[in-house]
Amino acid sequence: MLHYDAVVIGAGTAGLVAGARLAEGGARVCVVAKGVGSTHLAPGTIDVLGYAPDRVASPAAALPEFMTARADHPYALLGPDAVAESLGWLKARVEAGPLPGYRYAGELDRNLLLPSAIGALRPSALVPETMAGGDAALPGRVAVVGSRSLRDFHASLCAGNLRRAGIEARGLEIDIDVERADENALGLARRFDDAGWRAAFAARLAIKLQADERVGLPAMLGARDPHGAWSDLEQRLGRRVFEIPTLPPSVPGMRLFEILRSALRRAGGRLVIGAEVVDVERSGQAIAAVSTRAGGHDVRYAAPWFVLAAGGFASGAIELDSHWVTHERVLGLPLRGLPAPGEPRFVAEYLAEQPMARVGVAVDGELRAEGAENVMVVGAALPGAVPWSEASGEGIALASGSRAAELVLARAGGTPAGAAA
Amino acid sequence: MSSVTTPIDELLRGSLDHCVKCTICETQCPVSNVTPLFPGPKYAGPQAERYRVSDEPSVEWSVDYCSGCGICSMSCPQGVKIAEINAQARHKLKVQKGIPLRDRIITRPTWLGRAGTPVAPLANFTLGFRPLRVLGEKTLGVHRNGPAPKFAGRRFSRWARSHAAPATGRKIVYFHGCGTEYYEPWEGQKVVEILEHNGFRVEVPKQDCCGLPLQSSGLFDDARKVVLRLARALAPHVRDDPDTIIVGNATSCTLMLKREAREILDLENDPDLALVAERTYDICELLLELHDRGELKTDFKPVNERVAYHAPCQQQGHYIGKPALELLALIPELEVSEMNARCCGIAGTYGLKAEKYDIAMAVGADLFSQVRDSGADTVACDSETCRWQITHGTGRSSVHPIDFLHRAYGL
Amino acid sequence: MTTLSTDVLVIGGGATGAGVAWDAALRGFDVVLVDRGDLAEGTSGRFHGLVHSGGRYAVKDPKAAEECIAENRILRRIAADCIEDIGGFFVTTPWDDPAYADRFKDGCQATGVDCEEIDPALSLREEPRLNPDISRVFRVPDANIDVWKTVWAMAHGAQDRGARVLPYHAAVAFRRDGDRVTGARVRGARTGEEIDVEARVTVNASGAWAGRVADLAGIEGVRVLPGRGIMIAMNHRLVNTCVNRCQMPTDGDILVPIRTVCVIGTTDEHTGDPDDHTVRESEVDAMLDDGEKLVPGFRQARALRVWTGVRPLFEDAKASDTSTRDVTRAHALLDHDQRDGVTGFVTITGGKLTTFRLMAEETMNAVCRQLGEHRPCTTQTEPLPGSEQREHYRLGERLERKEEHLSGAQLICECEMVTRGKLEDAIRRRATTNLDDIRRLLRLGMGPCQGGFCIYRATGVLHGLDGLSAEQADAALQHFLQERWKGIWPILYGDQLRQARLDDWIFQGVLGVAHTPSSDGDRSAA
């Protein structure tokens, strides 16, 4: 048995943020996770609110009304200030993080509109500086650059849809020699870390570009030193260069993971990956300890506070079984947002809202799980949101992770939560 | 609450059902990130497994380039036993193609140790003598530059037999492994002294190899025999007392006992191995637990040094985080940098093989440069083969983390 | 309107229709083959993939058993490349009448179905996931067949001999000349263009839709009752041998390993509408319970998708004119000259996939009779294109090919190991923008992620290769997503729900497919 002030379950954005902020607040924290989390799959942008359901121009302006209209939504529990505060925290951690010079750009006042790999425009509040140049509000034509060597990005399709959105864009392909036929963005990102290779690439690309074009490339501009790679490329090409997120694995997402991991570690928090929670010790209305599967014998972690950041259906933390029963599998907590018995769980139209979409762990107004008074629920485990269609996932993760840490610290320190807020 | 275990999951193959193709394992694999010869864990594991039919011949070659480090399984957020599936596929391939003589030799630390110990100076000369190493590469396929350890010329078990154990104290069983027995007997002495300092009475049963090198080279039948022999040797020492545990400092060997032998070699049902698995602790895991309970002596003297800590893959495979880091943090004035690289490349015997040596060195390059950048003179690392590789790659000396505890205790 | 003139017009491009076209082409006839959709998109493409040994019918329908074993042997020769020799077990589970096993054994002997009783312990060694409580096991020569590959092989073989193959062309009206059918007018679903096909004989091979097609030709009383059955594909092969319950044929009693998956089937429910693809939760539940009886833990294993197929069950209103067989599962050949006094028109319906070749042979014999020509059938011996080597398909083939070209062949669909080269070839060959057509050819998007990773890639390739507009490419992608979702949502639970959620993130979160310019009017906001 190991004792901590707080144990965080899950190492996606929400869990790492909660863990880092708890540790920064002086708590002895251990983050346990079954595996590496959602960061590696998401674009690395902080989408706060993109659709409600019409496209949102300013999350700051839209959030108050949205929170009133959707009392069941995580944002309604968090409040606009928590969102703004957490964005500021993240920006600072990015700056102080392990990637020299790397920054996040954007404000809560205005969503940037960044091209996706198919050329749709995604509204994001806070984005890596390496992507900001793709904002549809910026003037100038766009050259979207891909390569046949990267199956995960199709430049002319992206450019075609951008043109339909009124942006003057064209797609072009550039040869990149790869040793691996199935190279992904991460493999190419490692190439972009190499200054010599980058210079040669820039030289080959430069001759294909027209005078007033900015350049969109798949998000692969450097794994180790993205700021260096990106700014070098901008300099060499003499124009704006921006990254476009594409299929997993997400290079910008991995950067975000490194930033958050490093924040956690620097504040003294532990991180245990590969540790799936397989047993729970309860003490009345509270969780006393959780056991994680290791080899041979399980390992028990005890704490006065637990933060459940294990995700929803995508991670398997919430599961619908073959008898059509839905469970929260980590701690066995009650759920909210389930369709009534006999009601459809899914509907035949793929892009319609699916009735199961808003299922999450039932919480009170301060993120506390129903039936477990010392468990704070954060991120995709929260009920009430459809993050992939609202474009709200990372915003919820960041704000709820921050807020949970704040509430735990306030309670552990004996101050009422409200005072800390 | 936990996932239900059913017959369908008992076969490793069943875990492929959890794969959502998310690519997280691909981002973590140290090997596929440096060589196209290994297409990556997703491909070789859950993806290729759907094309494998147990009674049909293997049609693959690339899975042989998986080093078996296990990082993929650890990182998988969905619980796919990727490395374990790969290990079984590699075994099938090896059996079909015929196992090279080299693999039969370098996977037998006990034979090597017994042969090399009495003639250590000569054996060490041989291992360090370039023309012979070149010959060894040409005839056997053991790379001329592969980090070969030096025989200590004495065996740990001999020291243990002559060592006067305290008459009282909580009983603990020490599994020292082959590295300690033949190459680094002093590490074993330190383990014993640290445990005794903390009030344990250490028993050292007669013991042999855990079979990990055989298993990782695909020699499953031999590996089963060897690990079961070890389980039979250790089990009687813990069977009658539920509080007695086994502790080991060879982290890859303790992992073999805890989990890998049962999962990969399909020995889930052996009662001795199950008992041993449940009772086995990595030394740092144990010491951290003691500390948590307030039972670890913390009379550490300052050690004014800089050390770089690398958690080897097999240590991470215990799924217990990095307890060594927490322990090193207890030592006053010791400046510890945590390395954030994945693997040193050696993966047991992988980096010794002529066709894989360059890959192993490329895998290790990231760690080597982090070690150099850290400014540390010494590297702490829980696995002996990794230590040898790190020293080979960086020229820095490398020790088990307990070396620092031993020094700080002033033992 | 374009006009075509031919010897034989075949309506219905399933296994039977394509088989008729192949048979006719081999006999030297000129052929036009049409289908309202893609080839083998109907019943043929919606079955479990089993080439019966005949064991299933050994007790209930000896004639069918004899046909099955005979055709099984023929198909192994002529369609070797489409067939995998998986072998089969008939197993007596605790839920089966133990007395049936001996009747089964006798039935097999009487009908010539190769059948060997083996020790259940041996079967468990071969198939460790099988229910350990099975009491008796018989080994039979079951095989599986890739229907799409088979149907296209026959279509290409026929094309090589001059046939014209027109998928997505529905018969909209028949040409009649008094008591004579002289062909049909067909309409291209994509172009809207009509083609007037003049034919000496028209074959109605439209299976469950045969009654409707006969109606269109003015022939009354061809009653085909569509029998709806559901099938569920599991994520990987839980067994490598086909497992049949040793009992009178019933629901959910066959588990067929085919390609990378295994399929459990099926149910049988009469429906008024052959296009009824409803899947009820109760049917899914029953099927999963049946799976559990064969393979304990079946419910924890991952189900990929569910689909329905409609068998054509023939029940002729003109009872006196029906063929001599009274079993509705048997096939029915209606020579409308004899039956209705209408020449130039033949209907073939009923039957099962295993006997499609026999059905085609009998059909073409009838056509020859009507034409008064004697041209012998050669489909028993002529290998299909691609099967000349007479080597059976092995599951490892795609993996083996990828290993051979590890650094050269880019995988677009990783689950089913579809390379970029194969995809580009197929797009060119089929000249289609419908990724679902490509799916049937290559198994694109049919693995665990159900297109999550490959469909964006395939859309990009399609867009680049075909000179599509971005709008058309978006439409192709959305069409495919919707097509996939059809088979996913009625059985979405467990691991596949995790996958579906990741796919949601990819398509809606990362790519924003719901917000490409046409889909939500984002244009002005930009």
What tokens does C130 get? 């099988």
Please list, in sequence order, all residues whose beta carbon lies within 8 angstroms of the beta carbon of residue C68, skipping any fewer than 6 positions away. Answer: C52, C53, C54, C56, C57, C113, C352, C354, C355
- How many Å apart are CA B362 and CA B347, to the nearest integer? 13
- How many Å apart are CA C260 and CA C49, to the nearest integer? 12
| C-beta of residue A317 within 8 angstroms of C-beta of residue A385 | no
Residue with tokens 């243990």: B160
Q: How many residues does chain A have?
A: 421
List the alpha helices (DSSP H) in A49-149: 59-69, 74-95, 129-132
- How many Å apart are CA A61 and CA A56, to the nearest integer? 9
Q: Taking the domain A2-95+255-420, which CATH number applies?
A: 3.50.50.60
Residue B128 pLDDT: 83
| C-beta of residue A16 within 8 angstroms of C-beta of residue A257 | yes
Residue C372 pLDDT: 95
| ipTM score assigned to the predicted complex | 0.96
- Class level of CATH domain C2-43+148-223+315-371: alpha beta
Compute the average pLDDT of residues C97-116.
98
- Cβ under 8 Å to A: B residues 42-61: 43
Task: Kindly state the greatest CA–CA separation across chain C.
Answer: 76
Specify the DSSP class assigned to residue B134. Answer: H
Cite the residue boundaries of each domain of chain B with CATH code 3.40.50.
299-409
Q: What is the Cα Rg of chain A in Å?
A: 22
Cβ distance B53 to C129 less than 8 Å, yes or no, reads no
- How many Å apart are CA A102 and CA A255, to the nearest integer? 9
What tokens does C103 get? 């009747």
Question: Which residue, among C399, C511, C519, would best test binding to A if mutated, counting the most A CBs under 10 Å from its CB?
Answer: C511
**CB atoms closer than 10 angstroms to residue C57:** 26
The full set of domain ranges for chain C reads 2-43+148-223+315-371, 83-145+226-311, 397-520
| C-beta of residue A103 within 8 angstroms of C-beta of residue A129 | yes
Residue of B120, B148, B214 lying closest to B352 (CA atoms):
B148
Question: In C, which residues are within 8 Å of B21 by CB distance?
Answer: 414-415, 448-449, 452-453, 499, 502
Compute the average pLDDT of residues C222-229.
92
| C-beta of residue A289 within 8 angstroms of C-beta of residue A296 | no
**CB atoms closer than 10 angstroms to residue C481:** 23
> Does pLDDT of C522 surpass 80?
no
Kind of pairing between the strands at C331-335 and B397-399: unpaired
Q: Could you tell me the pLDDT band of residue C485, with boundaries at 50, 70 and 90?
A: very high
Kind of pairing between the strands at C180-188 and C194-204: antiparallel
Cβ distance C457 to A154 less than 8 Å, yes or no, reads yes
- How many Å apart are CA C117 and CA C89, to the nearest integer? 9
Specify the DSSP class assigned to residue B3. Answer: P
Cite the residue boundaries of each domain of chain B with CATH code 1.10.1060.10.
7-97
Closest in A136, A154, A354 to C526, CB measured: A136
Residue of B74, B69, B66, B46 lying closest to B313 (CA atoms):
B69
CB burial class (10 A; 0-12, 13-18, 19+) of residue B329?
exposed
Cβ distance C399 to B16 less than 8 Å, yes or no, reads no
Cβ distance C300 to A322 less than 8 Å, yes or no, reads yes
Cβ distance C485 to A348 less than 8 Å, yes or no, reads yes
Report the share of chain C in percent with pLDDT over 70: 96
Residue C525 pLDDT: 35
Compute the average pLDDT of residues C238-246.
97
Residue B21 pLDDT: 97
Cβ distance A161 to C517 less than 8 Å, yes or no, reads yes
Cβ distance C414 to B43 less than 8 Å, yes or no, reads yes
- Cβ under 8 Å to B: A residues 114-143: none
Which chains pack against C, by 3+ Cβ pairs within 8 A?
A: A, B
CA distances from A262 to A362, B322, C64 (A): 31, 15, 70
Cβ distance B11 to C128 less than 8 Å, yes or no, reads yes
Q: Strand, coil or helix: what is B311?
A: coil
Q: Does A182 touch chain B (CB under 8 A)?
A: yes
| C-beta of residue A254 within 8 angstroms of C-beta of residue A39 | yes
pLDDT digits (tens, 9 = 90+) for C299-351: 999 999 999 999 998 886 664 444 433 444 689 999 999 999 999 999 999 99
- Cβ under 8 Å to A: C residues 239-298: 281, 285, 288
Task: Tell me which amino acid residue C169 is.
Answer: H
The full set of domain ranges for chain A reads 2-95+255-420, 139-239
Closest-CA distance of chain B to residue C254, Å: 18
| C-beta of residue B321 within 8 angstroms of C-beta of residue B292 | no
Residue in C closest to A347 by C-alpha: C489
List the alpha helices (DSSP H) in A70-182: 74-95, 129-132, 155-164
Q: How many Cβ pairs within 8 Å bridge chains A and C?
A: 177
Q: Does A323 touch chain B (CB under 8 A)?
A: no
Q: Does B24 touch chain A (CB under 8 A)?
A: yes
List the alpha helices (DSSP H) in C416-493: 420-430, 435-442, 454-466, 470-488
Task: Tell me which amino acid residue B391 is.
Answer: T
Question: In B, which residues are within 8 Å of C403 by CB distance?
Answer: 59-62
Q: Does C125 touch chain B (CB under 8 A)?
A: no
Closest-CA distance of chain C to residue A349, Å: 7
H or E stretch at C307: strand C303-314
Closest-CA distance of chain B to residue C129, Å: 7
Closest in B27, B73, B279 to A254, CB measured: B27
Cβ distance C516 to A41 less than 8 Å, yes or no, reads no
What tokens does A266 get? 């620097």
Q: Could you tell me the pLDDT band of residue C45, with boundaries at 50, 70 and 90?
A: very high
- How many Å apart are CA A262 and CA A281, to the nearest integer? 30
pLDDT digits (tens, 9 = 90+) for C243-287: 999 999 999 999 999 999 999 999 988 888 999 889 999 999 999
Q: How many residues does chain C have?
A: 526
What rounded mean pLDDT belongs to chain C? 94
CATH 3.40.50 fits B299-409, yes or no: yes
- Class level of CATH domain B7-97: mainly alpha
- Class level of CATH domain C83-145+226-311: alpha beta
Residue with tokens 């192709």: C476
The 10 Å CB-count burial string (b at 16+, else e) for B379-411 is: bbbbbbbbbbbbbbbbebebbbbbbbbbbbbee
Q: Does C409 touch chain B (CB under 8 A)?
A: no
Q: How many residues does chain B have?
A: 411
Question: In B, which residues are within 8 Å of C260 by CB distance?
Answer: 50-51
**CB atoms closer than 10 angstroms to residue A368:** 18
pLDDT digits (tens, 9 = 90+) for A234-280: 999 999 999 999 999 999 999 999 999 999 999 999 999 999 999 99
Residue of C75, C153, C65 lying closest to C115 (CA atoms):
C65
Closest-CA distance of chain B to residue C215, Å: 46
Residue in C closest to A136 by C-alpha: C526
Residue C324 pLDDT: 37
Kind of pairing between the strands at B200-203 and B280-282: unpaired
Question: In B, which residues are within 8 Å of A330 by CB distance?
Answer: 1
Q: What residues pair up with C309 in beta bridges, in sequence order? A: C229
Q: Does A297 touch chain B (CB under 8 A)?
A: yes
pLDDT in tens, chain B (411 residues): 333 334 444 567 889 999 999 999 999 999 999 999 999 999 999 999 999 998 889 999 999 999 999 999 999 999 999 999 999 999 999 889 888 888 888 888 888 888 888 888 888 888 888 888 888 888 888 998 989 888 999 999 999 999 998 989 999 999 999 999 999 999 999 999 999 999 999 999 999 999 999 998 888 999 999 999 999 999 999 999 999 999 999 999 999 999 999 999 989 899 999 999 999 999 999 999 999 999 999 999 999 999 999 999 999 999 999 999 999 999 999 999 999 998 999 998 999 999 999 999 999 999 999 999 999 999 999 999 999 999 999 999 999 999 999 999 999
| C-beta of residue C207 within 8 angstroms of C-beta of residue C223 | no
Closest-CA distance of chain C to residue B20, Å: 5
Cβ distance C396 to B53 less than 8 Å, yes or no, reads yes
Degrees (nearest 5) of the Cα angle A293, A298, A300?
105
- How many Å apart are CA A183 and CA C469, to the nearest integer? 27
Residue in A closest to C500 by C-alpha: A314
What tokens does B361 get? 């060195």
pLDDT in tens, chain A (421 residues): 999 999 999 999 999 999 999 999 999 999 999 999 999 999 999 999 999 999 999 999 999 999 999 999 999 999 989 999 999 999 999 999 999 999 999 999 999 999 999 999 999 999 999 999 999 999 999 999 999 999 999 999 999 999 999 999 999 999 999 999 999 999 999 999 999 999 999 999 999 999 999 999 999 999 999 999 999 999 999 999 999 999 999 999 999 999 999 999 999 999 999 999 999 999 999 999 999 999 889 999 999 999 999 999 999 999 999 999 999 999 999 999 999 988 999 999 999 999 999 999 999 999 999 999 999 999 999 999 999 999 999 999 999 999 999 999 999 875 443 333 3
- How many Å apart are CA A378 and CA A367, to the nearest integer? 7
Residue C524 pLDDT: 35
Closest-CA distance of chain A to residue C421, Å: 12
Q: Does A175 touch chain B (CB under 8 A)?
A: no
